[in-house]
Structure 1
Amino acid sequence: MIRMERSHVNPHVVLLPYPLQGHIKPMMSLAELLGSANFQVTFVNTNHNHDLLLRNTDITSFCNRFPNFQFRSIPSGLPANVIRSGLTAKDVFDAMKAMSKPAFRDLLISLGEETEQRQRPTCVIADGILCFLTLDVSEELQIPLLALRTHNASYSWIYFHLPKLIEDGHIPFLDENMDKPVAGIPGFENFLRNRDLPGTCRVKTSDDDYLLQFFIGETFAMTRASALILNTFEIEAPVVSLLGSHFTKIYTIGPLHKLRKSRMKDINSPSVSSSGILQKEDTSCMTWLNSQPPKSVLYVSFGSLVGLTREQMSELWHGLVNSGQRFLLVVRPDLILGEPGAGATPLAQNKGTEERNRFIVSWAPQEEVLAHPAVGGFLTHGGWNSTLEGIVAGVPMICWPQFSDQFVNSRCVSEVWKIGFDMKDTCDGSIIEKLVRDLMENKREEIMGSTDRVATMAHDAVNEGGSSYRNLDGLIEDIRLMARKI
């Protein structure tokens, strides 16, 4: 009798993203997909991001669409008044280890008190770099843990091989030849250079570098999870196959933002959905785009976290202007390093820019911008969310990576998928000018063939019958099986 009752219980999934917008956004897409499958969903943010998310979401409409969805929060351990952009990753990890871990444990225990409205947690889906916070707790409470890696498959595969590169003396780099080929990473022998390795590898002493060792530890810790979920698709199929040597089960369900739209066509209005946006969007740029010729505008954005020096900003500006191309530029208030609020300075140049074929905003609705017929190119930092959004929109890219996985992504964009150009370790307006002209005019025809092909692969993956569509069905069914065993 009990088994019959349990077979009809809707699973309850608890999701915990790393507290940055680029991690929250894909996690929220997955949460909405699970909510649309009638799962009970608890989405857990830090208090700071919880407040920002609720401020930018129509909660009434959202909860009407997802009646089994609830937002909860835990402390990050950081002071409420601290400027987040000035923190190091070590600051965040240390604070979360001290305060977020016990708070998350207490939250899971409270959620485990089953009520008529909500079941006990069936499983936890946590960011792959939060294993230090979630693994011990989930094992203690006997709740299965699934790791969602918000970076691509290539990035994780490379991290599994960094200990050997350190052991062999390849890291830290002993010489200044950043173009030296990297050996010892299966599947990457022919195109990876020192400068393409993750940003944490650019250290003077590997033993003393906290982040390098921390991320290596988190990568191997992910193998203790019940499964790995990846926001990727067939373009990384060979690497996903290689990762199978470390994980018993892998679900590739990307691009998540497009899969969400494919599966949930009735909630594409922002008023009844949340894409994890923590900043207010300026939609005035859409009106400007409506007045531009097809494929004539270069969209320029460096995401929610990257900062540029004053020199880099100057070179970027002159390169864009001298290219003679129309452009839409996103300048966050904290974009210029060490100068809070300096982003307002370039914004002042926006007056009358309609006549000068350029437009500047502090934050843009990126998915809508990239999908606009007027947009023909994307100058990006090369973060994985932005890369996927460019791929889905069929827009070729110039990648100017600054840290983390961006170095790996940009090399894949240029040398593996051949859908753009890699501009890493460059700060030269004349190079920016040339690459913009190449992307928008001179080499456009040769690059659009592969860009269109990869975009088609992405759309096929998320449409009914596609690999990501099927893999999400598999994930949903496997979580239902977990619920029946509780």
Structure 2
Amino acid sequence: MTTNNERQSAAVAVIAVPLPAQGHLNQMLQLSSLISSHGVPVYYAGSALHNRQARSRINALNPQEVARINFHDFPIPPFLSPPPNPNSTNKFPTQLAPATEATLSLRGPFAAYLEQMAHKFTRVVVIHDPLMSYVVQDVAEIPNAESYRFVCISAFSHISFICGALGLPFPVPHPKELPPYEGWTSETAPKFFAIQAKPSEIRSGNIFNTSRLIEGPYMEVIEREELKKGRPSWAIGPILPTSSRSNDSHECLEWLDKQEEKSVIYVSFGTTVSLSDKEINELAHGLERSRVKFLWVLRDADKGDVFDGDVRRAELPEGFGENGMVVREWAPQPQILGHPSIGGFMTHCGWNSCVESVTAGVPMAAWPMHSDQPRNAALVADILKTGIVVREWKDRFELVKASRIENVVRRLMASEEGKEMRKTAEELSAAVRRATDLGGASRIELDSFIAHITR
């Protein structure tokens, strides 16, 4: 028997529009799965190539839940897919620029698709990445459509960028010294960002992958400013599933099964960072000297087309690896962080990684590389007190020596300071997990958003 609520939900469809970069594809897929679980049909709209990428890296998501999502493939013009430059002093992923700029061609196809969907459903709700605002701007021309911006960075970083760009003081609690507002992007990226600014103003609200338990003061500032323009904001995170093991076991998880509890440091710099040979050499020696067991995912940053082969395989020092495991391919990070053998995480501090680490209760060795990462590192180390900074942002052009890496790893994994951070991380994890349970702060906001779009 169909209930009134089910009939109401069926009258509404969500179109999810991600930016074609892994951290954005992944979060949008998690959000799509979450919304779909509430009986609302979700259409994940992107190029065929990047939809394939999203499906191939579902991480901790249940494949059956992903199967409920409708993937809509748009044609996209051919684009260059250059390799990343590991020797660049600026770690911003400029190799992805051709792929992201190619998305600008999707405005016309998206408008046509939106019009088609508007005839099928009573209301069409477009949830888009902030950097896809240009593509979805014609939602303003459809009477029964509305759009919401899904912010894939921390609320702390979001405020930091706005204040930095406008030269305003930071309005809420922050570290004594914020990372300098420079060197976080490439020379050309701001032009792409600027294209999104005006179209972004048509949105009806904002969704954040964060929890008020982590970023309450920052969400309050954002909410206050957004409500002046009639735009509500929802903090519904963390949006990744709380169960950490999938049905498919990876060899690294089998290796972790044999290690002692909280004895392994997980090392990964995400999908947009390539280390130089010198950096890899220093990191390898630092890990070795620490005598702490490690699981290191060592792979080059993604190209615009992750399926085109021809990937650099960085060399490691001869004889390295006896005290750990090196993974060269894609690895299931949420499952790794959720494994009982993991006691620390050396990370670039992308927001995906920070959220996954906080959820798992794992303290971080924060090594920011670009974009929002310097601000996230400050949030983790100076405000949440769940991490140690490996390298200050002002020293980003200096090579991090093995001695520094050894020191940080030992502090995180084998000191009273590290134990205290782990305790803080575990307490925060428990609170954040409760927030997503029925009646929890984040769950209430998610339910509020679902009720809002199916009203």
Please report the TM-score for the alignment, with normalisation by the length of structure 1.
Answer: 0.79
Match of 1:70 in 2: 70
Alignment partner of 1:229 is 2:235? no
How far, CA to CA, are the matches of 2:174 and 2:58 in structure 1?
45
Q: Does the CA-based 8 Å contact 1:159-1:219 persist in structure 2?
A: no
**Residue pairs, 1:176-215, within 5 angstroms:** 184-188=169-173, 190-195=175-180, 199-200=184-185, 209-212=187-190, 214-215=192-193
Change beyond 3 A, Cα 1:315–1:340: farther
Change beyond 3 A, Cα 1:450–1:8: closer
**Displacement of 1:428 after TM fit?**
1.4
Match of 2:35 in 1: 34
Q: Does the CA-based 8 Å contact 1:13-1:42 persist in structure 2?
A: yes
Change beyond 3 A, Cα 1:217–1:474: same
Alignment partner of 1:94 is 2:101? yes
Change beyond 3 A, Cα 1:288–1:349: farther
Q: Does the CA-based 8 Å contact 1:152-1:232 persist in structure 2?
A: yes
Match of 1:178 in 2: none
Change beyond 3 A, Cα 1:13–1:5: closer
The amino acid that maps onto 1:357 is N
Alignment partner of 1:256 is 2:239? yes
Q: Does the CA-based 8 Å contact 1:196-1:411 persist in structure 2?
A: no
Match of 1:429 in 2: 402
Q: Does the CA-based 8 Å contact 1:47-1:75 persist in structure 2?
A: yes
Match of 1:172 in 2: none
How far, CA to CA, are the matches of 1:403 and 1:225 in structure 2?
27
Match of 1:23 in 2: 24
Match of 1:179 in 2: none
How far, CA to CA, are the matches of 1:122 and 1:245 in structure 2?
27
Pick one of 105, 109, 130 that aligns with 2:111: 105
Match of 1:297 in 2: 264
* CA displacement, residues 381-440 of structure 1 (integer Å, 9 cap, x when unaligned): 110010111111111100111100111101111111110111232521110110000000
Q: Does the CA-based 8 Å contact 2:26-2:58 persist in structure 1?
A: no
SS at match of 2:225: coil
The amino acid that maps onto 1:432 is I
Change beyond 3 A, Cα 1:76–1:196: same
Change beyond 3 A, Cα 1:231–1:441: same
**Displacement of 1:225 after TM fit?**
0.9
Change beyond 3 A, Cα 1:454–1:106: same
**Displacement of 1:196 after TM fit?**
6.6
Identity %: 27
How far, CA to CA, are the matches of 1:347 and 1:428 in structure 2?
15
Pick one of 206, 214, 220 that aligns with 1:241: 220
Match of 2:148 in 1: 146
* Segment drifting more, 432-441 vs 120-129: 120-129
**Displacement of 1:25 after TM fit?**
1.2
Q: Does the CA-based 8 Å contact 2:118-2:124 persist in structure 1?
A: no
Change beyond 3 A, Cα 1:14–1:435: same
The amino acid that maps onto 1:360 is V
Alignment partner of 1:403 is 2:402? no
How far, CA to CA, are the matches of 2:196 and 2:319 in structure 1?
44
Number of equivalences? 423
SS at match of 1:313: helix
Pick one of 303, 306, 313 that aligns with 1:343: 313
**Residue pairs, 1:252-401, within 5 angstroms:** 252-258=235-241, 261=242, 269=246, 283-334=250-301, 341-343=311-313, 345-346=315-316, 353=321, 356-362=322-328, 363-401=330-368
How far, CA to CA, are the matches of 1:123 and 1:26 in structure 2?
17
Q: Does the CA-based 8 Å contact 1:127-1:149 persist in structure 2?
A: yes
Pick one of 109, 114, 130 that aligns with 1:128: 130
Alignment partner of 1:413 is 2:380? yes
How far, CA to CA, are the matches of 2:5 and 2:282 in structure 1?
66
Gaps of 5+ in 1: 166-182, 204-208, 272-281, 482-486
Pick one of 411, 414, 420 that aligns with 1:438: 411
* CA displacement, residues 319-346 of structure 1 (integer Å, 9 cap, x when unaligned): 111111100000115589xx96333534
Superposition CA RMSD, Å = 3.1
How far, CA to CA, are the matches of 2:150 and 2:451 in structure 1?
17
Please report the TM-score for the alignment, with normalisation by the length of structure 2.
Answer: 0.84
How far, CA to CA, are the matches of 2:146 and 2:302 in structure 1?
39
Q: Does the CA-based 8 Å contact 2:34-2:239 persist in structure 1?
A: no
Gaps of 5+ in 2: 86-93, 304-308
Match of 2:306 in 1: none
**Displacement of 1:312 after TM fit?**
1.1
**Displacement of 1:253 after TM fit?**
0.6
How far, CA to CA, are the matches of 2:278 and 2:83 in structure 1?
23
Change beyond 3 A, Cα 1:270–1:74: farther
The amino acid that maps onto 1:475 is F
How far, CA to CA, are the matches of 1:126 and 1:450 in structure 2?
34
**Displacement of 1:373 after TM fit?**
1.1
How far, CA to CA, are the matches of 1:85 and 1:404 in structure 2?
16
Q: Does the CA-based 8 Å contact 2:117-2:124 persist in structure 1?
A: no
How far, CA to CA, are the matches of 1:84 and 1:140 in structure 2?
39
